[in-house]
Structure 1
């Protein structure tokens, strides 16, 4: 028994002091990925999160899908999904949770963090102040947080700090320079900068879920629910009984209030709207199909979009996103549209979102993640150094996540080299950072892995076979040309061979076929027409052959375009091949008048659709040779960058061979997790648990044929094999037993070996 007789002095709450190399405030996707990355790099990490779960807006508290450069597969960004830790998390979530249950995603994030012994996780702990070293106003010494669940105050000391809190609490109390709101058009020459009427801040959202209970359910609205919905919400006709969750992202409010200090007021207004919407759906009489529906869940806190943006060593702006210049200090990529919302949100007369898409992905400089006036402070997430316009694209969670990975790798170098973050903005330390990021799966535009430790580079590489594109089996469905469709094929520069398509026409007609490519090899916008030919097509089945001789100006992707004709269908194949896709003319981007570009958007269909054309090349094209595993790129970009086995190879093998024995203690394999698939973390749902292109079972043998590693279930891109003892061998052979789909041949991006 504990008994206290009382005290005349005020009591203090329990206080705990902790020390780490890196202290992270904020456990959303940026903070979570940063913590995992830093811990794996050997740093002692404190992750302070003010909520009971990780994931921020992607968690079960908010329930927004985690998304990024793939743009829901509605843009020209091919193979754009983010790599590294965020890819590992999304792939694992898909395997466990293809239905997109946010509660399961919570468990994936928590498990991955708990598996790292270098992380001290403080949930339900809100940071509220920081301390600085005596006489050193430009540096943070500690951050203090309070956990209301255990009535404990935590003082967390560190060498480096990361503000991944969204609202920028740590940077604010530390005195970091920041901005809130939109810049003028003139400051950065941004044609998309909003007017005062549109508003200078994005708002916040609360979502709801409904479910059918199989019998009529009444709903009596609370007194604070919004009344007269049709008279208050201009877009009220968009509400229906089927959509819920984050598909109602446009239930938004707060863009004309203080996004930090007015959040509780914003929450109440959003609750009024949500319950008013549900009252309208249930009781207006316009939705009889809602009779058996009940509210299953309503968010308790708003999902935030915009607040403080800290000023770094560089501010990303509209020009960087649209024109995509090469930044020497690129450490991450983005690709979501510049997506600005009206400040009045759900009450606005404007449409809920205004988009400006660029032709391809853009790079984000390291300088955007480093505070310009607090020397040991990083930023990651929605508070990084951008203009309001550029923030419209960098704010989405997968883009936030790769920023978290970037600063975590930077922090590891800072601790190792005993330097401050700004020292990594150029020179050898920058190059070290970029190489570490790419080795761990981060995609950096225009860069490639160059690792002198990798024993695969001097090795002779051979394979049991390689896929040469002659004739793909015509075993798939017919794709009707209600839109123009195009097959993407990676080809070398030079003269193109003749290519044949099998078509079926409802009646005699004419079909136009175009060969296109791209102006730049770092995007997949088919903005260059190389040749065009019209074919008279008889009724029924026939073939059309585009003659040889067209010159491909550079190695890259060829678009074989069957132009729109609803009377014609193209025969497809069921074979799904790494680095090949069919896209269709989806829409036209017309944003030149606001500083964007005018161009065509060609996007793929989601599986189970989206089959490749059953192509026939008169002279086979060979873009998938074993030497591709030395390219230093771990995804299709300008080429497939993968070895792909022949379709008939039932026991595909890939071999590294050296003239003398090598000492090997670690092997790394990189398989294809389909970087083109958006893999939204919630609500969308997906038709498979594992990507069809990914190798699922394999063995590795030494030069004596002895199995040194066996894997009987795999769904991840990266496989790291740490051998129990150092192996002496003149060769390593990867034997692929199966992929996750019998219609996808074995594919490997990298097969590395290390002493």
Structure 2
């Protein structure tokens, strides 16, 4: 029996933990950081002050995960983030293509609890930081409200991914809050005082049709005058959840310490909005709708931003500046919101896109004055304007992965974060990230220990794109469409296609390239053709004079003409894509970006894909065929389409596609890494939005690995993941390794981005 004792002697249960890395914050940045570090061999504690992981992507907030892909609404092709966050998004697609936020919680928790090197502390809040000296953290003290336990967690390295920067703040790390002036960094998009210096919080809600009328009696605190919201006429009974992200408030307040007050104001708005929808009489279609869920904590956008050895700024994003210490990239628009949020007369957001993705240097991911503190998530070292782009969860998670790998190197080499730059370890960090599928623009994966680099490669076939065959499907040329084709040095191939015309008219065709290699913004016009068409079927022959000077993608643009129908193909091939000059208001894409002249961003056209099952390739014949799918691509160090498809693709007529790797001398192989095509152009939004498929159509589902004697080393029949890391029970000694794959479907040939082999 427990006996009461003197109350003055009582204390909470205390546990001391010693690890290699403490990650505070279990949003996507902290989660990806912890997983990456744990897989690299570190003992990690992940401290999360909520009952689930995911932060703004969790079931507590329910915002979808996005990054550089921007709802497929910008010109960043094949830009979905790789590595651990890609693994999570692909897993969620497989388990949860309908976008159930509760299921996404389980995906994240499953990924973490499968890692034996991670100790997960949920419902645990950091309340104190211990210091070894003025610029070094020694420990954090945290408290779990659910088990009344106090933790003292010590480590040589700490990562603050907490959103508000609790560890950075308590440790004395330099930070900023609010917007910088135009003059400080020369940022022309820096907001005025009228617009405001902080982005606010949002609370979302879900509705449900229960099949019979349901009444709603608002709580006493519901907003009673809907006209206080200038955009109240935009409310619709059909919208719910994150679609009303602009129910935002708090940008004029302290977004750290006033969060509870902000939450109450947002609750007032949400219940007032629902009262208006249910009881104003303006929405009879809402009769059977009930309020199924309202967020209990707000989704935070902005609070503290901490200072690293470099502060990313607007010019870095717009000009796509390159850095030798690049470890991540971004691609969301510079997306600022009026500080008055839902009560503002201004549009809910002000988005300006760059022409392509941009690098983020490692110097943004650690504190400049606390030596052993990494930064991850929305608190990294950026200006307020740059924060408008880097703050989104896909980009935040990507930076978290870079920090996790950097922490592993710091422990291995007994160095501090800023020493990763000074002793040349940055290249090792970049290569370690590239090995796990963490693509960094302009960085190729090169590992001298990879046995594939010395192998002779033989393919059973190599795809040559000679034709995207007609399927019988035609579409009106409205909007304009462009076919992306990967070209290599030499004359642009001749093209032929069929166009159906309703009347005598003219087909306008243009040949574009991107001024910057690796971009997918058609901003350099090479040639233009005006081709007269007669009613009915027309054979269109396109012969271009242009000489292609290097590898890169061409845009064959067919300008809008609703009197013309083009033929489309059911063939889909890795690295081949059609794009359209359509409108996507969700990301401020109105076909063309036309900024004011004084904000420092570019004007250009948007050319974006359509989501499957739409977005078919334009049917055409190509002469000579495009021979850019060779087997040698699997060791070029790039595991996604950039300047070329960067994949081995087998010919569709090849009944048994295979790659053979041979070595003159016998080699020892224990580890094999395979990277497949899970369509890096698909944004894979995690919640609310549904998706047409659970497995990406380009992904090889079935593959086998065999030795020189035909013995099966490994076989998988239900693959859906990008990266497959295979550790054999024991090393094999062989002169040959064979990879056999199956075509994903009758219209899609098998492809492989990369193979690595290690002893």
Fold shared per TM-score above 0.5 = yes
What are structure 1's unaligned runs of at least 5 residues? none
Q: 1:649 deviation in Å?
A: 1.8
2:712 aligned to which of 701, 707, 713: 707
Task: For residue 36 of structure 1, give the secondary structure of its aligned residue in structure 2.
Answer: helix
The answer on 1:746 being equivalent to 2:750 is: yes
CA–CA distance in structure 1, aligned partners of residues 7 and 742 of structure 2 = 75
Q: 1:428 deviation in Å?
A: 2.3
Task: Mark the CA change 1:426 to 1:443 in structure 2 (over 3 Å): closer, same or farther.
Answer: farther
Tell me, yes or no, if the aligned pair for 1:146 and 1:152 is still in contact at 8 Å: yes
Task: For residue 603 of structure 1, give the secondary structure of its aligned residue in structure 2.
Answer: coil
Tell me, yes or no, if the aligned pair for 1:23 and 1:45 is still in contact at 8 Å: yes
Match of 1:2 in 2: 2
> Equivalences for 1:266-285 in 2 at 5 Å?
266-285=262-281
> Equivalences for 1:674-689 in 2 at 5 Å?
674-689=679-694
> Equivalences for 1:410-489 in 2 at 5 Å?
410-475=406-471, 477-489=473-485
CA–CA distance in structure 1, aligned partners of residues 581 and 489 of structure 2 = 25
Task: For residue 622 of structure 2, give the secondary structure of its aligned residue in structure 1.
Answer: strand
Task: Mark the CA change 1:648 to 1:418 in structure 2 (over 3 Å): closer, same or farther.
Answer: same
> Equivalences for 1:237-256 in 2 at 5 Å?
237-256=233-252
Task: For residue 608 of structure 2, give the secondary structure of its aligned residue in structure 1.
Answer: strand
The answer on 1:25 being equivalent to 2:24 is: yes
Match of 1:158 in 2: 155
Q: 1:425 deviation in Å?
A: 2.1
2:377 aligned to which of 351, 361, 381: 381
CA–CA distance in structure 1, aligned partners of residues 526 and 548 of structure 2 = 8
Q: Deviations over 1:572-607 (max 9, x none)?
A: 110111101100113111225310011111011000
CA–CA distance in structure 2, aligned partners of residues 472 and 245 of structure 1 = 40
Match of 2:284 in 1: 288
Match of 1:307 in 2: 303
Task: For residue 415 of structure 1, give the secondary structure of its aligned residue in structure 2.
Answer: helix
Query: If the length of structure 1 is used for normalisation, what is the TM-score?
Result: 0.98
Match of 1:127 in 2: 126
Task: Mark the CA change 1:738 to 1:493 in structure 2 (over 3 Å): closer, same or farther.
Answer: closer
Match of 2:90 in 1: 91
Q: Deviations over 1:530-573 (max 9, x none)?
A: 11111111212222111143212321001111111111111111
Q: Deviations over 1:440-484 (max 9, x none)?
A: 111111110110011111111121111111122211521211111
Q: 1:634 deviation in Å?
A: 0.6
2:495 aligned to which of 494, 499, 510: 499
Match of 2:659 in 1: 654
Task: For residue 8 of structure 2, give the secondary structure of its aligned residue in structure 1.
Answer: coil
CA–CA distance in structure 2, aligned partners of residues 476 and 138 of structure 1 = 68
Match of 2:585 in 1: none
CA–CA distance in structure 2, aligned partners of residues 478 and 651 of structure 1 = 33
Query: If the length of structure 2 is used for normalisation, what is the TM-score?
Result: 0.98
Deviates more, 1:651-660 or 1:348-357: 651-660
Task: For residue 61 of structure 1, give the secondary structure of its aligned residue in structure 2.
Answer: coil
Match of 1:695 in 2: 700
The answer on 1:80 being equivalent to 2:79 is: yes
Tell me, yes or no, if the aligned pair for 2:96 and 2:103 is still in contact at 8 Å: yes
Task: For residue 578 of structure 2, give the secondary structure of its aligned residue in structure 1.
Answer: strand
1:326 aligned to which of 300, 322, 327: 322
Match of 2:206 in 1: 209
CA–CA distance in structure 2, aligned partners of residues 742 and 720 of structure 1 = 27
Deviates more, 1:419-428 or 1:350-359: 419-428
Match of 1:509 in 2: 505
Q: 1:10 deviation in Å?
A: 4.5
The answer on 1:614 being equivalent to 2:619 is: yes
Tell me, yes or no, if the aligned pair for 2:223 and 2:269 is still in contact at 8 Å: yes
Q: Deviations over 1:73-115 (max 9, x none)?
A: 0000000000000000000000000000010000010011000
The answer on 1:47 being equivalent to 2:43 is: no
2:217 aligned to which of 216, 220, 223: 220
Task: For residue 637 of structure 1, give the secondary structure of its aligned residue in structure 2.
Answer: coil
Match of 1:191 in 2: 188
CA–CA distance in structure 2, aligned partners of residues 394 and 600 of structure 1 = 23
CA–CA distance in structure 2, aligned partners of residues 425 and 442 of structure 1 = 19
CA–CA distance in structure 1, aligned partners of residues 302 and 72 of structure 2 = 24
2:517 aligned to which of 491, 515, 521: 521
Match of 2:587 in 1: none
> Equivalences for 1:60-75 in 2 at 5 Å?
60-75=59-74
Q: 1:8 deviation in Å?
A: 5.4
Tell me, yes or no, if the aligned pair for 1:476 and 1:574 is still in contact at 8 Å: no
Tell me, yes or no, if the aligned pair for 1:530 and 1:552 is still in contact at 8 Å: no
What are structure 2's unaligned runs of at least 5 residues? 583-590
Task: For residue 696 of structure 1, give the secondary structure of its aligned residue in structure 2.
Answer: coil
Task: For residue 604 of structure 1, give the secondary structure of its aligned residue in structure 2.
Answer: coil
Tell me, yes or no, if the aligned pair for 1:497 and 1:549 is still in contact at 8 Å: no
CA–CA distance in structure 2, aligned partners of residues 465 and 613 of structure 1 = 25
Deviates more, 1:73-82 or 1:696-705: 696-705
Tell me, yes or no, if the aligned pair for 2:469 and 2:621 is still in contact at 8 Å: no
Task: For residue 502 of structure 1, give the secondary structure of its aligned residue in structure 2.
Answer: strand
Task: For residue 140 of structure 1, give the secondary structure of its aligned residue in structure 2.
Answer: strand
CA–CA distance in structure 1, aligned partners of residues 742 and 650 of structure 2 = 12
